[in-house]
Structure 1
Amino acid sequence: MTTANGDPLPSCPCGSGSSLDECCGRYHAGLPAPSAEGLMRSRYSAYVLGLVDYLLATTLAAQQTGLDRAAISAWSLQSTWLGLEVESSEVFGGQPEHAFVTFTARWHDDGGEHAHRERSAFVQHQGHWFFIDPTVALQVGRNDPCPCASGQKFKKCCAGFV
């Protein structure tokens, strides 16, 4: 397997030390990530590999149409990905389950070397974890049904995680 840039890939890009097939490749192939951290790691690996469809599909469904597919693809392909460090993963009980994952992703592009630290929010729905993208506004009122499809009002579900 190679990266989107054609470089050889000795192990999973997420930094687990396992092979891609034993790690994030399973989720890219359709197996649901077992945790928010697993999904976040597989999304980083998807950026390394240029798997834009996976990045779109693992974002909260209500936000997918607001994503810029061309920009995601360009960033993925025009960057040399340098590594991922997961600082923490906080899982909150309840139905649906929510989580925060704090991480730093590093990459190099025409503008130099970069590091991005983020505390990302995730929600689980029907056995699948989804990324709640802070760059895509949710067009929902506090008393509207939650866009994660939990059946709850937004204020009782995902409002505290966006």
Structure 2
Amino acid sequence: MKKPSPNLPCPCGSGFKYKKCCQKYHKGALPATALLLMKSRYCAYALGLADYIIDTTHPDNDDFTDDTVRWREEILAFSRGTLFLSLSIITFSETESEAYVTFEAKLSSGLLREKSRFLKEKGKWLYYDGDFTV
């Protein structure tokens, strides 16, 4: 995948340029909320930033594996084969250490609706799991 242009609109749908939005998280800044993490993960999938997806996934997630080479290739294959058309946030709730984000992502393969669960550990939000909703 080619390097994302910092001056293009951010794929998360914020309306800001990538450099003023999710790029800072992809470069190491910690999202202050699980909602920001969720949006930056969507953006990372859209841009093929597999390492960010791996780094922001909770170790107890079913997809988590120590075989990061294979996992990275799976993420990149999904990202290359999918057009990420839009992201809509349906609901968001957050406590000190747990959060839920329900979202709809329009993808070239169809509509994805998920209620994602995030846990905060050692000051860092991580994607724990998600349930597909109708």
Structure 2 vs 1, CA of residues 7 and 130 (structure 1 numbering), >3 Å: closer, same or farther? closer
List gaps (5 residues or longer) in structure 1: 136-162
What is residue 107 of structure 2 aligned with on the other side? Answer: 107
Per the TM alignment, residue 132 of structure 1 is displaced from its structure 2 partner at its CA by 0.5
**Contact conserved, 2:58 with 2:127, CA < 8 A, in 1?**
yes
TM-score, scaled to structure 1: 0.70
Q: 2:78 aligns with which of 75, 80, 86?
A: 75
Question: Quick check: 2:115–2:130 contact (8 Å CA) kept in 1?
Answer: no
CA separation of 1:7/1:124 partners in 2, compared to 1, >3 Å: closer, same or farther?
closer
Question: What's 1:133 paired with?
Answer: 129
The residue that corresponds to 1:89 in the other structure is: 92
| C-alpha distance in 2 between matches for 1:133 and 1:11 | 28
CA distance in 2, matches of 1:21, 1:32: 15
Name the CA distance, whole Å, in 1 between partners of 2:34 and 2:27: 17
Residue 17 of structure 1: aligned partner: 15
Q: Which has the larger radius of gyration?
A: 1
Deviation string for 1:53-91 (max 9, x for gaps)?
100110002332178332221110111110100111111
2:112 maps to which of 109, 112, 116 = 116
Q: In the alignment, residue 115 of structure 2 is paired with which amino acid?
A: R
Query: Shift of residue 5 of structure 1?
Result: 6.5
SS at structure 2 position matched to 1:90? strand
State the TM-score, normalized to the length of structure 2: 0.83
Identity of aligned residues (%): 36
Q: How does 1:53-68 map to 2 (within 5 A)?
A: 53-63=51-61, 64-65=64-65, 68=71
Name the structure where strand makes up a greater proportion of residues: 2
| Cα distance in structure 1, aligned partners of 2:26 and 2:18 | 10
User: Any idea what the Cα deviations from partners look like across 1:12-38, whole Å, max 9, x if unmatched?
Assistant: 100001111111111000000110000
Structure 2: segments with no counterpart, 5+ residues: none
Task: Tell whether 2:30 aligns with 1:32.
Answer: yes
**Helix, strand or coil at the partner of 2:20:** coil
User: Does the Cα contact within 8 Å between 1:40 and 1:101 map onto a contact in 2?
Assistant: yes
- Matched residue SS, 2:16: coil
